[in-house]
Chains A and B, each alone.
Chain A
Amino acid sequence: MTADRPLPDRDATVDAQFWAAASEGRLLVQECPDCENRQFFPREWCHFCGSEAVEWVESEGSGHVHTYTVIRRATELPAFAEDVPYVVAYVELDEGVRVCSNVVGCAPAAVEIGLPVEVAFDRVTEDLALPKFRPSEEE
Chain B
Amino acid sequence: MKNFTFRLTLVAIVLALALLFLWPTVNQWFVDKDKDHTAWPHKVINLGLDLQGGMHLVLEVQTQEAVVSTMDRYSDDLKEGLRREHIRSKDQDLINGDTLTVTIIGSEALDKFKKWAGEEMSELVPDYDPQGENTVCTFTLPESDQKAIMDSSRDQALETIRNRIDKLGVAEPDIRKQGEKRILVQLPGVTDTQRAKDILVSTAQLQFRLLDDRQDQVRDYINRRPPPGTEILYSKHVDAQGRVSSRPYLVKKKVLLTGEYLEKAYANMQGQFSEPVVSIEFNKKGGFKFARITGENVGKPLAIVLDGRVFSAPVIQEKISGGQAVITGIGNMQEASDLAIILQAGALPVSLKILEERTVGASLGKDSIKTSTNAMLIGFVLVVVFMAVYYMGAGLIANIALILNVVLILASLALLDATLTLPGIAGIILTIGMAVDANVLIFERIREEIRTGKAPAFAVDSGFSKATITILDANVTTFVAAFVLLQFGTGPVKGFAVTLCFGIAASMFTAIVVSRLIFDYFLYYRNVRKLSI
Partners in one complex: no
Which residues of A are at the interface with B, using a C-beta cutoff of 8 A?
none
Which residues of B are at the interface with A, using a C-beta cutoff of 8 A?
none
